[in-house]
Amino acid sequence: MSTAVVKPQVMAVDFQRSGLIERAQPAERDHVLPAVPDLVQARSDFEAAAIWLEATTDNPKTRRAMRKEAERFLLWARHARDKGLSQIGVMDVRAYLAFLADPQPASVWVSPTKHPRQHPDWRPFAGPLGVSSQRYALVQLGSLYSWMVKAGWLKGNPVALVKKPQAAVDPMIQRLLPVEGIALAFEAIAATKSPLKRARDHFMLSLFYMTGLRTFEATASNMGTLRRSASGHLWLMVDGKRNKRREVPISEALFKELQYYRQAMGLPAEILPGESTPLLMAANSKGKRASHSTVLKAMIDIMTRAAELARERRQYELADRLGEATTHWLRHSCFSHLAQATGDLVMVRSLAGHARLDTTSRYLHAEANQMHNQVSEPLKTPAGC
C-alpha cells in the first residue's frame, strides 16, 4: 500500500516483493459479491485495503502503521492459509496471533536488517512481535474488517470474535521524567555550540513539556495559528488524532521563548496573523519545517546528553530514564505533573485531546519515592521484641 494517494491498481504492484506475493490480476475479486451494496468497488482485497487507508486517515504516520499491519495480514492470509479476507475465520485469526509471536519460516518473513521496499531482501518482519504489538495488530485488523463490513465488501468480522492479548503492566515502569530530569535536559541544551540549534532545541523542549503536544501535532503546526483571546490569553490551534481540532493554552513564558526563538532565526518577534512559518523549524535552514524524524532524533540527542550529565553526578536511575526518554515522555510528564498538582483530570483530558477520561486517569500517579514515603510514614506498628 502506498502512503501517497492510492490509485486502484497500486496495491498489488506494491506488494510484489521477493516472491512473497504474486501480482493479483486487476479483474479478479478475492470473494463472491455480498448481498449488501458494495460501496468499495475494488477489484481485489489489496485494492480494498488501499481504499480503506485512503478513506480513513490523512495522517502519514498513522497511515504507515495501518498499512504495515494490513500488508502483513494480507500476505500471511494468501501464502500461509491460501485465503482471501472473506474466507478468514476465527481460528485463522488465532493462528495469525501465534504467527506474530514467531513468524516462521524466518527466511521468508523476517529480516533483522531494514531494507528499502524495493530491495530483494525486504521482509515484512524484523522479528517476533511482543504482546503489545500483537494487540495493536489485532486492533488495526479489526478496524479494517469492520470498515469493509460496513462498506459491503465483507459479510462478517472474525477479528471481533477473538480476544486481544493483554500485556502485563509493570506499575514501576512509567514514561515519566521528574523535574530534575527536565532541568538536566535544558542544561544539556545550554551546552549546544550552534546558536540556532540551541535556540530551536530550547523552545522545542519547552513546547513539548509545557503543552503536552504529540510530535506530529507540533511538527504540523504553524506559528500563525497562535491567537490571543479577548481575555488576553494565548491559544494554539492544533489538529490532533482523527483530525480533531483543539486549542492548546500557551503561557506567557512559553510565548517569550517563542519570540526569542524567532529572533534567533532572523524573524521579527511579533507573529503576523495567518503566518505560515512552521512552529518547529530545521535548525540549519531558516523557515524550513522540521520533519517528524528530525524532531525525534534531536530529542533523543538531548536526552542522551542529559543522561551523561546524570551519570557524571551518580544519578544512575535518572540517567536510565533520560536514556530512554522521547517526546512522548515529555507529553506524559506534562500531564502527570499537572494531574498531581491540580487533581483536575477533566482539565488534563481537554489539554491532552483524549476522547475518554479513563485514558487521562493513567497520568494521575505519584512518583515511586513519593508513594513510598507517603505509605511508610503514617503506617507504623510497635517494634518487635
How is the chain split among helix, strand and coil, in percent rounded to 5?
Answer: 55, 5, 40
Nearest to 74 by CA among 1, 8, 139: 1
| Residue 12: predicted pLDDT | 35
| Residue 36: predicted pLDDT | 60
The span from the CA of 376 to the CA of 306, in Å, is 32
| Residue 22: predicted pLDDT | 38
pLDDT per residue, tens digit, the chain (385 aa), is 433 333 323 333 344 443 343 333 333 445 554 456 778 888 889 899 999 999 988 777 778 888 999 999 999 999 999 999 999 999 999 999 999 999 999 999 999 888 888 888 889 999 999 888 898 899 999 999 999 999 999 999 999 999 988 766 544 446 789 999 999 999 999 999 999 999 999 999 999 999 989 899 999 999 999 999 898 899 899 988 777 888 888 999 999 999 999 999 999 999 988 899 999 999 876 789 999 989 999 999 999 999 999 999 889 889 988 998 999 899 888 888 887 777 766 677 777 766 665 555 555 554 445 545 555 555 544 555 5
Nearest to 313 by CA among 176, 192, 184: 184
Strands 234-239 and 245-250: antiparallel
Q: Which domains does the chain have, with CATH numbers?
A: 10-161 (1.10.150.130), 179-366 (1.10.443.10)
Q: What is the DSSP string of 308-334?
A: HHHHHTT-HHHHHHHHH--HHHHHHHH
For residue 319 the three cell numbers come to: 540517567
Buried-state track 350-372, b at ≥16 Cβ within 10 A, e below 16: ebbbbeeeeebeebbeeeeeeee
CB 93 within 8 A of CB 162: yes
| Residue 342: predicted pLDDT | 75
Give, for 236, the enclosing helix (H) or strand (E): strand 234-239
